Amino acid sequence: MHKGHPIKKKRWRNLDLYLLLIPAIIQVLIFRYWPIAGIQIAFKNFSAKKGIWGSSWVGLKHFMMFFQSYNFWEVLGNTLTLSLAMLLFSFPIPFLFALFLNRLMNARFKKVLQTVSYAPYFISTVVLVGMLYSFFSMDSGLINLIIGKMGGESVNFMGKASCFVPLYVGSAIWQTMGYNAVIYIAALTNVSPEIYEAARIDGATKLQSILHIDIPALLPTMLILLIMQLGQIMNIGYEKVYLMQNALNLSSSEIISTYVYKLGLQQARYDFSTAVNLFNTVINFILLIIVNRVSKKASGSSLW
Amino acid sequence: MNRVKRYDPDKVFDVVNTIVMVILFLIVLYPLFFVAIASVSDPNLVNSGKVILWPKGFNLDAYQHILTNANILNGYKNSVIYTFVWTAIAVCVTVPAGYALSRKDLPMRKTATMFFVFVMYFQGGLVPTYLVVKQLNLLDTMWAVILPTCVSVFNLIVCRTFFEGTMSDELLDAARVDGVTNLKYFFQIALPLSKAIIAIMILFYAIQQWNSYFDAMIYLNSKDKFPLQVVLKDILIQAQMNSSGAFGDAESVAAMQRIAELVKYSSIIVASLPMLILYPFVQKYFVKGIMIGSVKG
């Protein structure tokens, strides 16, 4: 019967589906692929007069300049520190939250807590950082008022280099814990109640059944999320970092993406900052491919 | 029956777990609660740590100030416009494209999918994108905020996954026998069956645009075009940043600090108002959306 293979016969028969795709294709061509073509200025001496294509080639000059610049190691180090701190603290907490939330006895409290837990996700970055400045401000912030009441000295949290990473990571956990736990919580509801019942009859305590039932059930999901996170390790966004940055904490808050923004758009060094960005993109891309390949071999899960 | 149990490990677990979760609940909720009570309290009492559990010196001055602050009001208006236009365009582009990609009989389906997925992992970056926007003469127009980001590949994949999971081949075959074309099938049969994904997309996109500031900051120069988040950034962060030790033009800084002191809590509430109103819907569809999105692209 040819019922199952009408496609083979008329390969181009569904070409009209492309009418639905064309707007998206045009948008992506203009605003995603055209900029990729513009990356060539990383290897050029960009002059606004001659344009992207007419500017003269300079090879790896900008890259060399970046590697030799006095803040190369600082910027790279800050980027990696922030990413690794996020991975170490912000990644496992939603996992743990889901595990223990799932075991709450009071069903109503469980529901309320889950709903409340992802409310902060809807707060904008500007508002979140605004809240940080309010809560941690030197003279009128709630935290310093409490420290003061307990007889301690006020700390300029927002203007202290050593406080930048903890504040960034801590506020990220506060904002995204509930949201990131949603996937895990849903995965846990797929565990059949009979397994728990069997474990209980065999005398397993709750902690034991978390260890031997829940964690193995969540592992595949966690692995995929871990790959995604590892593949983004150099891709930490500038939006929040830029807002938290000030002259006093710059030595730990200047990361590659904010550096690119300042050089590129504030100082109009288009070619150099594009080179810095390309360095970041390429490393990240290579990392993503390696991580993906390793995980494909080890567990069969892959991003594509 | 004599039970010789000195302690039941499950009971201990339940008690400890409940206590930890209550603490967590307070940690998540308290900052939000504090913002709410601080916004209706006397700023002097807030700044001296007298407001902890309930409003003190209740007044609505801060809200009154917002309602008379031209910058904030104008920003609000701009944000509403940008969010509406951007979301409308984004949804109209993303949903049909997601449907087309979900069709297994789409010619060159693999290539088309790769075409989109590639840009999720490899981007031109800030400056090359800026130069494109500049070359198109979009700088300092609302289209600079709208066009460059109006297709999210992630959302596109979410749509594709949704259609793959919900549209049956039998329905398509039956329609074909009746001579229905692909476009007609999409608009008259698939779309009406897919209200859930449209709702999810509207939410995903609207929230993203309402909360974003960066594109507006780099592409817009005229103050009267600033969306709310950029106005808030200037009030909430620039002013307070200066009190943390960075320096700026002293007079305007002082003026901004005065405004900031007044509205730093109430503006948070006002900016989050659309989210608060949407929250019941957001909740229902957001979880659904995350679940579809978590199936790999």
pLDDT digits (tens, 9 = 90+) for B207-227: 999 999 999 999 999 999 999
- C-alpha A135: how far from chain center: 24
- Dist CA A23 CA B176 (whole Å): 25
Q: Name which of A134, A142, A274 is nearest B127 (Cβ-Cβ).
A: A274
Read off the pLDDT of residues A38-88 as tens digits, 9 standing for 90 and up.
999 999 999 888 888 888 899 999 999 999 988 899 999 999 999 999 999
**Is there a contact between B291 and A183 (Cβ–Cβ < 8 Å)?**
yes
User: What part of B 64-83 touches A (C-beta under 8 Å)?
Assistant: none
pLDDT digit string, tens, across residues B75-125: 999 999 999 999 999 999 999 999 999 999 999 999 999 999 999 888 899
Name the residue type at position B144. A
Q: Which CA distances in Å does B31 have to A142, A160, A256, B257, B264?
A: 10, 22, 31, 22, 14
Give B-chain residues touching A281 at CB under 8 angstroms.
Answer: 122-123, 125
Report which of B40, B44, B35, B43 is spatially closest to residue B60, judged by C-alpha positions: B40
Model confidence at A1: pLDDT above 50: no
Short-list A171, A180, A169, CA closest to A86: A169
Mean pLDDT, residues B64-75 taken together: 91
Interface of A with B in 240-259 (CB under 8 A): 242-243, 246-248, 257
Judged against a pLDDT cut of 90, whether residue A279 lies above it is answered with yes
Residues A264, B126: C-beta atoms closer than 8 Å: yes
Evaluate the CA torsion angle A67, A71, A74, A80 in order and state its sign.
negative
Q: Which of A 54-83 lie inside 8 A of B, CB atoms?
A: none
- pTM for this one? 0.90
Is B230 in contact with B75 (CB distance < 8 Å)? yes
Specify the pLDDT at position B80.
96
Closest approach of chain B CAs to the CA of A87, in angstroms?
19
For A157-182, what is the mean pLDDT? 94
B 119-148 residues with CB below 8 A of A? 119, 121-132, 136, 147-148
**Mean pLDDT along residues B66-79:** 92
Q: Cβ A146–B34 below 8 Å, yes or no? A: no
Q: Band of the pLDDT at A186, cuts 50, 70, 90? A: confident
Q: Is A45 helix (H, G, I), strand (E, B) or coil?
A: strand
pLDDT attached to residue A11: 62
Q: Which residues contact A69 (CB under 8 A, 6 or more apart)?
A: none
Contact B240, B160 (CB under 8 A): no
DSSP type of residue A9: H
Tracing tokens 């902060």 back to the chain, one arrives at A120
What residues in B contact A205, CB-CB < 8 Å? 9-10, 13
Residue B74: phi and psi, rounded to 5, are -65, -40
- For residues A117 and A110, the answer to whether their CB atoms sit within 8 Å is no
Q: Across the interface, which of A179, A206, A248 has its CB nearest the CB of B246?
A: A248
Helix (H, G, I), strand (E, B) or coil at B258: helix
pLDDT at position A5: 52
Are A239 and B9 within 8 A, CB to CB? no
Taking chain B, what is the end-to-end CA distance rounded to the nearest angstrom? 58
| Tokens at A253, concatenated | 């808050």
Other beta carbons less than 10 A from residue B51's beta carbon:
22
Q: Do B213 and A239 touch (CB under 8 A)?
A: yes
